[in-house]
Amino acid sequence: MWIADWSRNIAIARQHGHTVEATSYLDSALSGIIDVTLSAQNAAVAAESLGYGITFVGALRNNIDAVIDLLRLPEWTFPVYGLAIGVPDPADPADIKPRYSQNVVVHRNTYTPPTDDDTRDYLDRINTYYRDQELPADWAKNRLAGR
């Protein structure tokens, strides 16, 4: 579990007699999330380098109160996601999920929106991936737009 955690710093600030206001700002939530994300990604790379497979599990936020209870999290913390680390089942190959091509996600100096061809290329590849995984293949309709 990867937990955004302002509780320690807030406790120290209070010990020094400060009232705490800054941590209620969205930017503070963002920096807590960025901190755990950097460390979780490093853990993912380390695990994969040892031959393990990983899956981030954002779905735990579907029932976040139960997770908070289970982990006995203090105030000023929240679970950002889980990271399942295990040995991939060779009988159930997951493959690597396609990404947008590099010319879509790398912008030189200013933002360049994807062309229709870029989008079509991605839709072709992602739909093939879902079909191979025996999931509903229309990614845009069933996953992106629906959600």
Binding site for ligand FMN (CB under 6 A): 55-59, 81, 96-97
Q: Give the single-character DSSP code of 107.
A: -
Measured from the CB of residue 57, what is the shortest distance to ligand FMN in angstroms?
Answer: 4
Measured from the CB of residue 12, what is the shortest distance to ligand FMN in angstroms?
Answer: 29
Query: What residues contact residue 105 under an 8 Å CB cut-off, 6+ apart?
Result: 99
Q: Which is nearer to ligand FMN, 59 or 70 (CB)?
A: 59
Q: Which is nearer to ligand FMN, 87 or 96 (CB)?
A: 96
- Beta-sheet pairing, 2-5 with 53-57: unpaired
Q: Which is nearer to ligand FMN, 22 or 136 (CB)?
A: 136
Q: Which is nearer to ligand FMN, 56 or 74 (CB)?
A: 56
User: How far apart are the C-alpha atoms of 1 and 67, rounded to whole Å?
Assistant: 10
Query: Angle at Cα 140 formed by Cα 138 and Cα 145, nearest 5°?
Result: 130
Measured from the CB of residue 115, what is the shortest distance to ligand FMN in angstroms?
Answer: 24
The number of helices, as runs of H, and strands, as runs of E, in the chain is: 6, 3
Which of 24, 23, 22, 31 lies closest to 4, judged by CA?
A: 31
Measured from the CB of residue 126, what is the shortest distance to ligand FMN in angstroms?
Answer: 11
